[in-house]
Chain A
């Protein structure tokens, strides 16, 4: 294992410390319990947005703390949910009296810890709504599993719900638009090579030199199946097909196409994936109105990518275009 670290146990703390120093204009870091808030949180009259989850997915979530997105982020240990003792003070710090929306990826640990924290924050007088993100079509959505995982669609939920909160929407309206984004986005990922969790020291799963895992989660959890390596266009087809089958967009609909890197894949390769994905969507009669390409929700140094397609309406497009100023996403200001 070769990593730019000092101590495997100190990775999250040292990384967030450096993050806070680098982005002191945007954020404040509370070291213990660990959470990150907007420098000017809480903002009078504004609904607070709080997200969090295991670390290792940077820039998610702390990178999206700032104007037009999150008010607070709670980084857990590597790939492990944060706990209520950190989520509760982050929620209180984000509350200006208008209530707080928790944006939670649908993983059992995250759901249980945020649910417990929401109950306890409510007991302290904070009104909490939860938007559960479950956009991963690789997982069967049924009563007999923990349900679909929350993956790259989370970034789109945080941006659009964040813009709604920034323009002054109330608590229920912010939660509603967050849920609407989630209902209209589907994602699917692929891994070409595994990642190594620093304190584990060994790759989190095995892939042969000529093998890829289709339907990978953002921690390297297994997806649908392993297949022999293919070219970029072939892999793109395999990711898009289940997305379109599930989302069922009608010809003429407007979409946002998001190609996300898992941390270990060059941006140039992501554009090769984007190129073919845009062509497939155009052939399906869809209008790609907006796009996002880059490493926005990662799995450490995992090689691979995910594709997300969000069905847009005019309000979502307007909120997507609204100004945002965070360490990892900035436009319009």
Chain B
């Protein structure tokens, strides 16, 4: 790995800005995925939330990664709405708690923060792997991050491993029947559609890896 960045507050801010950019770029795609099996507003809602995060970052710069996560949590919780708001809000809030006021995250702290975020989403949404939700993205990402960290990978490589596993996890929702959310009312009609929350989660985890410079 070359040109990798330490996971400091600058990385955390870059991650959030890149997340906002990728969500804005894919706003229509995410809403189209949601229209197929939900109520069709995932792209708009998430775009509104991350745009608000960027506005907050323009107004005041957080001083630690944890503070940046907390800013994202509170903003997403109040601006996204639907189910995605409390789920993403909880994810960032648990990650903020896990990293505390550490100025720079090492691989172990990073892996623990991702696991805490996933645990928060799973508890709030009462979802498990295979339910066709964000958890199908988050759990493989958390496992890949834990393995990479245990193998001694540097933080950027941990994030790259998490992002790749996340993307595969999102694809894994295609053949599933949904057990949570509005998609669950469709029964077998949800088969063949990719879960929009699983897709946006993979985009956001990829943004974290790109911000760390671990992969182009």
Q: Point out residues on A near B: beta carbons under 8 Å.
A: 33, 76-77, 79-86, 107-109, 112-113, 115-116, 139-140, 143-146, 149, 200, 217, 219, 221-222
Q: Which of B40, B45, B87, B184 has a CB less than 8 Å from the CB of A112?
A: B87
Answer whether residue B175 sits at the interface, using C-beta atoms and an 8 A cutoff.
Answer: no
| Cβ–Cβ contact A116 & B185, under 8 A | no
| Cβ–Cβ contact B78 & A221, under 8 A | no
Contacts of B214 in A (CB 8 A): none
Tell me the complex Cα distance, A17–B182, Å. Answer: 31
| Cβ–Cβ contact A115 & B86, under 8 A | yes
| Cβ–Cβ contact A146 & B180, under 8 A | yes
Q: Which of B40, B80, B90, B124 has a CB less than 8 Å from the CB of A83?
A: B80
| Cβ–Cβ contact B81 & A77, under 8 A | yes
Answer whether residue B79 sits at the interface, using C-beta atoms and an 8 A cutoff.
Answer: yes
Q: Point out residues on B near A: beta carbons under 8 Å.
A: 39-41, 45, 77-83, 85-87, 89-90, 124-125, 177, 179-182, 184-187
Q: Which of A81, A82, A85, A222 has a CB less than 8 Å from the CB of B185?
A: A222
Pick 5 A–B contacts, CB within 8 A, sort by A.
Answer: A84-B86, A108-B125, A116-B89, A116-B124, A146-B181
| Secondary structure of the B contact surface, majority rule | helix
Tell me the complex Cα distance, A239–B81, Å. Answer: 32
Closest 4 pairs (CB-CB, A-B): A85-B78, A145-B184, A112-B86, A109-B82
Tell me the complex Cα distance, A162–B202, Å. Answer: 44
| Cβ–Cβ contact A144 & B81, under 8 A | no
| Cβ–Cβ contact A116 & B39, under 8 A | no
| Cβ–Cβ contact B45 & A80, under 8 A | yes
Q: Which of A33, A85, A108, A139 has a CB less than 8 Å from the CB of B180?
A: A108
Contacts of A149 in B (CB 8 A): 185
Min CB distance B142 to A, Å, is: 21
Min CB distance A141 to B, Å, is: 11
Tell me the complex Cα distance, A217–B83, Å. Answer: 17
Contacts of A86 in B (CB 8 A): 78
| Cβ–Cβ contact A80 & B180, under 8 A | no
| Cβ–Cβ contact B81 & A81, under 8 A | yes
Q: Which of A107, A115, A116, A200 has a CB less than 8 Å from the CB of B182?
A: A107
| Cβ–Cβ contact B39 & A79, under 8 A | yes
Contacts of A115 in B (CB 8 A): 86, 124
Tell me the complex Cα distance, A197–B85, Å. Answer: 21
Interface centre among A33, A112, A221 (most CB of B within 10 A): A112
Q: A109-B83, A109-B85 are in contact. List 9 more A-B contacts (CB 8 A).
A: A83-B77, A83-B80, A83-B85, A108-B182, A116-B77, A144-B179, A145-B185, A217-B185, A222-B186
| Cβ–Cβ contact B179 & A145, under 8 A | yes
Contacts of B77 in A (CB 8 A): 83-85, 116
Contacts of B86 in A (CB 8 A): 83-84, 112-113, 115-116
Q: Which of A80, A112, A219, A221 has a CB less than 8 Å from the CB of B124?
A: A112
Min CB distance B160 to A, Å, is: 31
| Cβ–Cβ contact A76 & B185, under 8 A | no
Tell me the complex Cα distance, A113–B80, Å. Answer: 10
| Cβ–Cβ contact B82 & A81, under 8 A | yes
| Cβ–Cβ contact B182 & A221, under 8 A | yes
Q: Which of B81, B177, B179, B186 has a CB less than 8 Å from the CB of A109?
A: B81
Interface centre among B39, B41, B78, B89 (most CB of A within 10 A): B39
By beta carbon, the residue of chain A nearest B49 is A83
Q: Given A84-B86, A144-B179, A221-B39, is A113 in contact with B81 using a C-beta cutoff of 8 Å?
A: yes
Min CB distance A114 to B, Å, is: 9
